Homo-oligomer: A and B are copies of this chain.
Amino acid sequence: MSHVWTQARRAARMNPSIIREILKVTEKPGILSMAGGLPSADTFPVDALKSACDRVLTQAPREALQYAASEGFAPLREWVAARVAALGMNVKPDQVLITSGSQQGLDLAAKILCDAGAPVAVETPTYLGALQAFTPFEPLFASLASDEEGPRPEAIAALPHDAPGTRFSYLLPNYQNPTGRVMGAQRRQDVVEASRRAGVPIVEDNPYGDLWFDAPPPAALSSLWPEGSLYMGSFSKVLTPGFRLGYVIAPTELYPKLLQAKQAADLHTPGFNQRVVYEVVKDGFLDQHIPVIRARYKANRDAMAAALRAHLPAGCEWQSPQGGMFFWIRLPAGLDAMALLPQAVDAGVAFVPGAAFYAQQPDPRTLRLSFVTLTPELIHEGVEKLGRVLHEALEPVAEHAP
């Protein structure tokens, strides 16, 4: 140990991702993993991307390969501004910042908004990657009491507003990671009204909004309170995560500072990637492509719902998600998902223990299952294995019951 390096105070709060460590284990061959939040690789539009790469490198190689504007590729920004109109948002292209995946939007937002010790409100539970992005900026996490529609408005109304003030609520209204839940239209109104009254702005993350099964979700929170919302979108779930392309839509008041943070972080998102994706999406490709993803994911959702009904022991609770990628399961009292994971992996199946998704007071009985990575047949097989592990785990509990 050299002791030559002194680490920042914030570094002590940064810890290895549990999901990451789990994914390493579950990458062993033969394990049916429902752990990762990976979109189905069968949905990646390989041919469209291939010909778009060729067109970009034929038509504008010097521009695509040179340094570029930190704001992003102008035609792509225009496309994004037009696209979110379908979510009820009225946005100018100069409010759009192209980011290196929407994960980077979380990092940049925290960088310009979080002070050490100032509260940041998150859903219970919430996206683990957001907790990781915010943590280095040392916020005080406030876990919002939440139900099957997301955060309760009265929890937002009760957020601290004295200095240093709650900096924002981080909300995933559509098919939330990890719970799969969606915020209804009335809940959105109530959450925005409570937020406005409390003076707590909203960071709205919407990676899954396009992945609805029977009906699209209600209008974006950002459409109800444009000046109080920072909106994040992504191409990862509708095109490919491997290009790392997302975007932030910011109120005019915040945009310049966000842009400076972006410039300091990585100068700009790869211009080549932006131009290729623009080539793919500019003529309406997603209007044909997303319905294909929806149909596939809905069939997978149905397969997992059937498998869960068939194989999970009594006392397990879940709701069937109306979109997105995840089932959220609550195990019977006495079971601990984290403690059961090694047994599940031994049995050839993997999930993510839900405890990872809580800022405080994790519920050890919860776990997350992705239904989009495996085929319906393998989903059945995986859930059957998981069911066996749970049944076995419940036996000694039953034996010791009076």
Residues of A bordering B, CB below 8 Å = 1-2, 4-11, 14-17, 20, 36-39, 41, 44, 46, 49-50, 53-54, 57-58, 61-62, 64-68, 70, 99-101, 103-104, 107, 111-115, 118, 129, 132-133, 135-137, 164-165, 167, 199, 201, 227-228, 236, 240-244, 251, 253-254, 256-257, 260-261, 263-273
Contact = CB atoms under 8 A, between A and B. Distances in A.
Given A44-B62, A104-B266, A112 B8 contact: yes
Contact of A8 (B111, B241, B264, B267): B111
Q: Which 9 A-B pairs have the closest CB atoms?
A: A65-B242, A41-B62, A65-B240, A53-B53, A46-B61, A44-B65, A132-B264, A244-B270, A100-B266
Nearest to A236: B67
Contact of A67 (B8, B17, B36, B100): B36
- Identical copies in the complex: 2
A144 to B, nearest CB: 18
Contacts of A268: 244
A62 to B, nearest CB: 4
28 contacts: A2-B227, A2-B228, A4-B201, A4-B228, A5-B253, A5-B254, A6-B164, A7-B257, A8-B114, A10-B112, A10-B115, A11-B261, A14-B112, A14-B264, A20-B263, A41-B61, A44-B66, A46-B57, A50-B58, A66-B241, A101-B267, A103-B265, A104-B266, A107-B264, A107-B265, A129-B267, A133-B264, A266-B266
Contacts of A17: 260, 263
Nearest to A242: B65
Contacts of A67: 36-38, 236, 241-242
A44 B61 contact: yes
